[in-house]
Amino acid sequence: MTLGFAEIALPVPMRGHFDYLLPEGMVPCIGARVLVPFGRRKLVGIVMRCKSASDMPTDKLRAVETLLDEEAVLSQLFLDWLNWASQYYQHPLGDILFTALPVNLRKGLTQDALQKAWQLTDKGQQCDPQDLKRAAKQQALLIALKPGPQLHQTLSEHYSAAIFRALEEKDLIEAANLAVAAKLDWPEHISLAEQPRPNLEQSLAISAIAHQNETFRCFLLEGVTGSGKTEVYLQAIEPLLRQGKQVLILVPEIGLTPQTVRRFQLRFGLDVGILHSGLTDNERMQVWRQARSGELGIVIGTRSAIFTPMKSPGMIIVDEEHDGSYKQQDGWRYHARDMAVVRARLENIPLLLGSATPSLESLNNALTGKYQHLLLRQRAGQAKPVQHKLLDLKGQQLEFGLTRGMRQRIQAHLQQGNQVMLFINRRGYAPALICHQCGFVEECHSCDRSYTLHRSLNKLQCHHCSDAKPIPHACAQCGASPMQPVGMGTEQLEQGIASLFPGYQAARIDSDSARGKQKLHQLLEDINQGKHQLLIGTQILAKGHHFPNVSLVVILDVDGALFSADYRAAEKLAQLITQVAGRAGRAHIQGELWLQTHHPSHPLLQDLLNNGYQHFARLALKERRFAALPPFSYQALFRAESNHAAQAHDFLLQVRQLLSPGPEMAAIGPIPALMEKRQGRYRMQLLLQSQQRTGIQQQLNRLMGQIEKLPLANKVRWSLDMDPQDFT
């Protein structure tokens, strides 16, 4: 029986595979890439299966043009894993397969590691070395190359560039590319740097992991900031590395700092593969290849690093597992943490999730015993816990968002030579510009949201699309002037702070001031050098950077999150507060965290402050259970957007009508998205919610084909978001 047909997955947004004829003698392996004709173009595809017959009439089939790989680029395990993902996320397999590959491989480039080498030309082969006896070096090189090509890197130790050039000009040698064998001897070269003695809790965690590091097991390492989670990672992976097993570490986008990488490098004296958005395609390809061939013991990367193959996987670690950057927010909306769980199960290796503020999903899994729960409650190095306090804003006179008492407190901390961090979740100068005469607000016509005033750019900027315009001198509606800023952003606070605390230097850290990686690092460096005493910033301040000289942290306004339409807002606020608090203080400075609010008696704030995140999260879980919200139910969100609001609405209505109603699955919508209009398009949502995952899954399996065939399906831009995190 000959296998003359192949199922090929292609990078097109269509579900189902494509059958092709295999030319005589072409025997591709599963997971290899091929070049196929598709319509009027040529595409790179992945061989999913070879078979002896096709459902398609043979005369409709076209033939595979080229086999691009001898060896599969996706292992059977990866194919199984990504097939699962295609089912779970209801996303076309081809698209998933290609997102999981480095760009070079998507483009059909070779997967081989080729290094520059030299070989003899035909003329060189025939040339008698005696002819070169007047040029000893050239003669030696010619003789060295007689047995076969050699790497340039090796040769260049003995021969200078002039020698190569001379022989090349005589047409005796030519450049070549040579595949190199992987160097797998790194486990023998581990040189362990001196490591701190773990405290009791760390020891317990390390040994718990060590006892089950041979098979699949999920651990949730819940450790307060500064409790030494990284030390647990380091000591937990050591025995695995010594056995030659590799470790993949995921970190949030902002958390991948040179310091993090250096810590792993220095501890084991090994090369660490790094994957982040700043790399070139070739650099990514290199890490991918080295990880797959087993040359790298440790790979650290952001979200998409979860697709790094490993020859001998030993463990996957997801640091700050609650972080929102693990969820892809367009195209295939996968969650890297969830993908990690399934991968670890298939690879049969342990998965270690770490966080000071675990997501309610992971916490629930830990509390129900699905994950093993490891707790670190002590801050390592005797750092005192930060005191949390509430400040009632009601009836208070504010100057730049600060009460008189708070201004005095800030002054006191500055006078003691400490740093103060002010946290405000709005960048720019002011979130709106309003006419004092008629109340007119400048709004972006694409998004129906007020423009943010940026004094430093001298512009009005829409934070929801890229639109910007000059600051108007007068009201566009009634002509009165000038327009007035309302509300406060980081820019205004920075300016105000300078006038309130003359003599102290303020640093503003937000995505405007920290544009470009170098800039952020420079700012952080300056801060820890003490060049600035007042730190003003947004979310960025809360992530990954430690400020030991900060003794006072003020979150200017927490009320927005307390009354949000997004049920996750409270959880996110609690995570933010806890993370910010963890950035401050050290052994002999008592850190203080102040939350300014109009609702000091709000139960969420009270619980968080009196009992900490751990308690808050457990309470929040109870509320979620009561309200049948995730993780006690499962959600899928259809999003649709269109230039015509009615089309997006009608499409989702038709989707809803296709669903069979039942008690096991609720459908909410179509309703406008939290941001109803964005970049000129109207956005609607349809939320599916079920107590059982299978409830949603089965219906979607049945319906996605029909949904795609709806006439409106090609008129509106729509997508499905499994386990949505964000309802904007």
Partner DNA sequence: AGCACGCCGACT
Partner DNA sequence: GTCGGCGTGCTC
218 is in an annotated binding site: no
Helix (H) or strand (E) holding 706: helix 693-709
Helix (H) or strand (E) holding 35: strand 33-38
Residue (61 or 569) nearer to DNA, CB: 61
Cβ distance 531 to 505 under 8 Å? yes
- Contact between 588 and DNA by CB under 7 A: the answer reads no
Stretch binding DNA (CB under 7 A), from 18-26, 209-217, 263-271, 438-446: 18-26
Site pattern 658..697 for DNA (x: CB under 7 A): ----------------------------------------
Stretch binding DNA (CB under 7 A), from 6-14, 248-256, 489-497, 698-706: 6-14
- Residue 43 CB, nearest approach to DNA (Å): 8
Contacts of 213 (CB under 8 A, 6+ apart): 236, 239, 240, 314, 315, 349, 350
Q: Structure tokens of 339?
A: 């993908």
d(CA 580, CA 126): 72
DSSP, collapsed to helix, strand or coil, labels residue 123 as helix
Which position has the token pair 């342990």?
350
- Contact between 103 and DNA by CB under 7 A: the answer reads no
- Contact between 56 and DNA by CB under 7 A: the answer reads yes
Indicate the residue type of 296: L
The correct pick among 51, 170, 464, 715 for binding DNA (CB under 7 A) is: 715
478 is in an annotated binding site: yes
Peptide bond into 482 cis (omega under 30): yes
Q: Which of 275, 292, 298, 288 is nearest to 109 (CA)?
A: 288
Q: What is the 3-state secondary structure (H, E, C) of 251-283?
A: CCHHHCCHHHHHHHHHHHCCCEEEECCCCCHHH
Beta bridge partners of 719: 639
Q: Binding-site residue total for DNA (CB under 7 A)?
A: 20
Within 13 Å and on the Cβ side, how many CA atoms surround 187? 15
- Contact between 20 and DNA by CB under 7 A: the answer reads yes
Cβ distance 126 to 142 under 8 Å? no
8-state DSSP, 234: H
d(CA 84, CA 64): 26
- Residue 476 CB, nearest approach to DNA (Å): 27
- Residue 94 CB, nearest approach to DNA (Å): 10
d(CA 419, CA 545): 14
50 is in an annotated binding site: no
Neighbouring C-beta atoms of residue 2, cutoff 10 Å: 9
- Contact between 13 and DNA by CB under 7 A: the answer reads yes
The correct pick among 4, 9, 19, 695 for binding DNA (CB under 7 A) is: 19
The correct pick among 3, 12, 182, 653 for binding DNA (CB under 7 A) is: 12
Residue (16 or 405) nearer to DNA, CB: 16
Residue (44 or 360) nearer to DNA, CB: 44
- Residue 447 CB, nearest approach to DNA (Å): 20
Residue (61 or 279) nearer to DNA, CB: 61
Stretch binding DNA (CB under 7 A), from 55-63, 201-209, 322-330, 470-478: 55-63
- Contact between 16 and DNA by CB under 7 A: the answer reads yes
- Inter-helix orientation angle 229-242/200-211, to 10°: 30
Residue (77 or 713) nearer to DNA, CB: 713
Site pattern 22..41 for DNA (x: CB under 7 A): --------------xxxxxx
Which position has the token pair 């640091």?
319
User: According to CB under 7 A, which residues from 62 to 101 bind DNA?
Assistant: 62
Annotated binding site: 435, 438, 444, 447, 462, 465, 475, 478
Interface contacts to DNA, rule CB under 7 A: 12-14, 16-20, 36-41, 56, 60-62, 714-715
Annotated binding site for Zn(2+): 435, 438, 444, 447, 462, 465, 475, 478
